[in-house]
Amino acid sequence: MHSSHSLRSRFAITIAVLVTALSWLLGTLIGMDSSQRIREEVGRDLAEVSYMMVDRLDRDMESRAGMLQVLGQLRALREGQDIAEVRNLLDRLQSNFPSIAWIGYTDEQGQVLASSNGILEGVNIGHRPVFLEGSKGLFIGDVHEAVLLAKLLPNPTGEAMKFVDISLPVLDQEGQLVGVLASHLSWAWADEVRLAILEPIQQRRQVEFFVIGQDHTVLLAPKEMIGQQLTLPALLVSNPPHNHWAVQQWPDGKEYLTGIATSQGYKAYEGLGWIVIARQSLDEAYAPVRETTFNILLWGSLLALLFALLGWLLTGYFTRPLRQIAEAADRLSAGEIAVIPDIRSTHEIETLSHSIRHLVESLTHHHHALGAMQTLAHQDGLTGLANRIALEHYLPQAQQQCHQHNRCLALLYLDLDGFKPINDKLGHAAGDLLLQEVANRLRNGLREGDLVARLGGDEFLMVLQVPSETAQDQAQMVAERTLLALKAPVQLEGHSVQIGCSIGGALWPNDHGDIAATLQLADQALYQAKDAGRNCVVFYAAAPT
């Protein structure tokens, strides 16, 4: 039951994770695509409204300049005889166009003869650019402050007043200069234009407008930025498009979608090089994307839970036959039944049930055969002793047992002396019988837990588990007993033969901590035994006996 529930839980969790991952992936991809689309859409909108505003400013400036040019052609100004009529004309013009903060008519020396509301009448403005430039031709000046005029004009807000100058010469019938028509337009007019354009777009997104001069001085913006030099990478590009957009990092360190449009003038008005900038923070622009992504993830999570529940229920239906198979397998292992019963379910599970039944039958038939094959794989075919494969399996187990019982391993390399002459004289069959007899004598000399293996030819290895305190003595005793056993004559096909044996020994881990290295030390000791005259025992770092 536990395994079935675990499978159901894992299946449900897998579905939940997959659906959640898919929702996250789709949300991310949709968010990236939407971000790109919104960035481009908002950027184009900002560039368009920037262009709309700068175009509106240029058109208004051209319109007011044209209006003053018409006014300058009136006979009342050209003749200049009736100053009261001129004053009345200027008052009505200023009243109908509130953006005209002040308009005045001067003589050819710059003395104000008539003005709106009588302000500055009798004052000489001949030294000011509005007169000097206006006496030469149509003059449109950039935004500036006029301290004296600001004191005389009503100023409910108390903020510094800024003006834009428009002036032109007034000529008589002969084309001689008789005066200058000068005006100061209130820069508040630009803010009114900004509000008129901003209100529709402001309902959809939070946008700010900036108007900067040709030298990048801020002319219209939040109060704290007016008069500052605005530095943006897009403003430093040579020959930029008339209107474009980009993502810019502003002096406050934040990134904004920024639309930029440069004044190109209108008709005869060449423009003053104003630049209108509209910006919106990236956070504000991406708010719809974040909301969409959140909704996708929310619904994806809910769907993941729903599909996980459905998957859990469906898995329970399909795993019920599997539980029956598992229970039958448990009963089979306990001996209660002999075969796996037929399970009626889906085609795949029925096939699985039949396959398991056949597998159990096949395993039962082949169990003994596999055991026999395993025995053969670990035995030397001639002598019945362990072979190298059995030795490789035995050594790690023997090492572990030695660690647990404070023992060590004595490794004895054996090489028969005089075997080859007997084999050559009596034949290989007699040699095989001799090796089998040697194997029996070696096997009889072992104790419980020890191992003797044939390494090949007439080479053997004895592995003894001996106490660490008396390892050398016990190994020496077994080795000498083995020498005596192998010296006894052997009857082969009516011949009595006698062989000897050389033994090299080493102790693990006393002589070396690595078992392979210890085997090499025992092999070296064997060569020392042969050099010492054969038919003797030599232990590593010990004198021959």
Q: Catalogue the active-site residues.
A: 458
3 state DSSP class of 461: strand
∠ CA 13-16-18 to the nearest 5 degrees? Answer: 110
CA 102 centroid distance within chain: 64
- Paired tokens of 339: 């075969």
CB of 183 within 8 A of CB of 100? yes
Q: Name the DSSP letter for residue 375.
A: H
Question: Which contiguous run of DSSP H or E holds residue 101?
Answer: strand 100-107
| C-alpha span between 182 and 305 (Å, rounded) | 77
Question: Strand ranges (DSSP E) for 116-242?
Answer: 139-140, 144-145, 162-171, 177-186, 208-212, 218-220
Residue that has been written with the tokens 């290895």 in this structure: 461
CB of 321 within 8 A of CB of 349? yes
141-149 own/partner pairs: CB under 8 Å, 24+ apart: 141/165, 141/166, 142/213, 142/214, 142/272, 143/187, 143/213, 143/219, 146/184, 148/120, 149/101, 149/102, 149/119, 149/120, 149/184
Strands 162-171 and 177-186 turn out to be: antiparallel
| C-alpha span between 53 and 422 (Å, rounded) | 118
CA 326 centroid distance within chain: 43
